[in-house]
């Protein structure tokens, strides 16, 4: 969403951002054409969270007489669809994921039915729809009857002359990097099992999430402190510095969720932008991208023995890793937000008199 907001500002739009106050110490500094508002809620999870969130979002959004209301994912759609109807203004909807097919809902058919009903009720009328990849765009168009514009979350080119603060890795020598949320379904348990079986170099997990305590406990109980390291959450510039120093990046998913299968993780492009070869899942979006630029390899599953086998093969054949690393700058010059956001810019300029 930060890249969305930056593009809107660059095109002369004023942005009012509404989000949930989760007590995170992430600075959001108001600017000339950009204001932030965090909403405090009595619940931060469960059904009452979504009820109160949409009620408060409805009130706060009504107070902003916007030209466009932009809803992100299904959980903000009811409130912003209602406001756009009441004010007779445009609604844009950005579907970041296949919301009803996320792992958290895989064994909750009633909840999935409710969210599908929400989409049927509120996704009607004139809506400009976006999503993160071609596969989901095709699926959503068949499901909802709207054309979906693909807007992939690609990184911005680093600003020339702006130094990147160096970050010393938590270990010496080459290391394998996972960056992102430490959450269910990301192959993290398999990575720790692989480190136990014998990855060729240490594993660094950069991020935080629901599995943080569990993963740290596993590492300690198996005496893997010299093989697995945690950095916690890092500012973007420091994360970029750490990524540039890694030997291999990991982009794994180990849940049968359809949302995961057709997803396109931000880290895929972030690794490439930092010149880091990677291992991704053998899913449609990654297959297509790796045919365009072979910046890494794919795995059919997250079995620890298969992770170890592939990493050992690459360790013993450094020319393969070197070749992928050489392709990264070529891919990074193409896979940029400057190129990808042009479709958004065109739609914005079509609205300007």
pLDDT at res. 23: 74
Q: Judge whether residue 162 has pLDDT over 70.
A: no
Q: What is the mean pLDDT of residues 295-320?
A: 97
Residues 242-264: pLDDT tens digits? Answer: 999 999 999 999 888 899 899 89
Residues 11-38: pLDDT tens digits? Answer: 999 999 998 887 766 667 888 888 988 8
Q: Judge whether residue 280 has pLDDT over 70.
A: yes
Dist CA 275 CA 175 (whole Å): 14
How large a percentage of the chain has pLDDT more than 70? 97
Q: Judge whether residue 119 has pLDDT over 90.
A: yes
Q: What is the mean pLDDT of residues 95-123?
A: 91
pTM, two decimal places: 0.87
Please provide the average confidence, as pLDDT, over all residues in the chain: 92
Lowest-confidence segment of 90-94, 206-210, 241-245, 338-342 by average pLDDT: 206-210
pLDDT at res. 353: 64
Q: Judge whether residue 161 has pLDDT over 60.
A: no
pLDDT at res. 173: 93
Q: What is the mean pLDDT of residues 183-199?
A: 94
Q: What is the mean pLDDT of residues 281-310?
A: 96
Judge whether 2-154+337-351 and 176-334 match in fold: yes
Q: Name the CATH topology of 176-334.
A: Rossmann fold (3.40.50)
Domain residue limits, the chain: 2-154+337-351, 176-334
Q: What is the mean pLDDT of residues 261-288?
A: 95
Looking at the domain that runs over 2-154+337-351, which CATH code has it been given? 3.40.50.2000
């Amino acid at each position: 969403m930060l890249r969305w907001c930056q593009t809107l500002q660059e095109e002369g739009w004023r942005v009012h951002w509404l989000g949930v106050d989760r007590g995170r110490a992430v600075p959001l500094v108001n600017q000339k054409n950009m204001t932030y508002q965090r909403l405090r809620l009595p619940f931060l999870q469960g059904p009452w969270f979504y009820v109160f969130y949409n009620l408060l979002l409805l009130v706060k959004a009504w107070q902003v007489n916007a030209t466009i209301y932009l809803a992100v994912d299904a959980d903000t759609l009811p409130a912003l669809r209602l406001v756009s109807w009441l004010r007779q203004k445009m609604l844009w909807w950005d579907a970041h994921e296949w919301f009803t097919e996320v792992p958290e809902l895989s064994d909750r058919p009633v909840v999935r039915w409710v969210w599908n009903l929400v989409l049927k009720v509120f996704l009607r009328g004139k809506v400009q729809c976006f999503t993160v990849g071609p596969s989901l765009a095709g699926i959503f168009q068949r499901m909802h009857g709207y054309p979906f514009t693909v807007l992939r979350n690609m990184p911005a080119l680093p600003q020339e002359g702006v130094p990147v603060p160096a970050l010393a890795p938590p270990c010496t020598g080459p290391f394998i990097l996972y960056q992102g949320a430490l959450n269910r379904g990301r192959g993290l348990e398999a990575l720790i099992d692989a480190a136990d079986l014998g990855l060729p170099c240490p594993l660094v997990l950069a991020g935080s999430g629901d599995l943080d305590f569990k993963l740290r406990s596993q590492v300690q109980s198996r005496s893997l402190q010299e093989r697995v390291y945690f950095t916690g959450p890092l500012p973007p510039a420091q994360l970029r510095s750490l990524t540039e120093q890694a030997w291999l990046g990991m982009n794994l998913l180990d849940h049968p969720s359809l949302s995961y299968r057709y997803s396109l993780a931000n880290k895929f492009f972030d690794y490439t932008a930092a010149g880091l070869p990677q291992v991704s899942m053998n899913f449609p979006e990654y297959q297509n991208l790796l045919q365009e630029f072979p910046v890494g390899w794919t795995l059919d599953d997250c079995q620890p023995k298969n992770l170890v086998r592939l990493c050992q093969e690459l360790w013993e054949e450094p020319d393969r890793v070197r070749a992928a690393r050489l392709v990264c700058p070529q891919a990074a010059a193409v896979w940029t937000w400057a190129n990808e956001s042009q479709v958004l810019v065109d739609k914005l300029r079509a609205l300007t008199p």
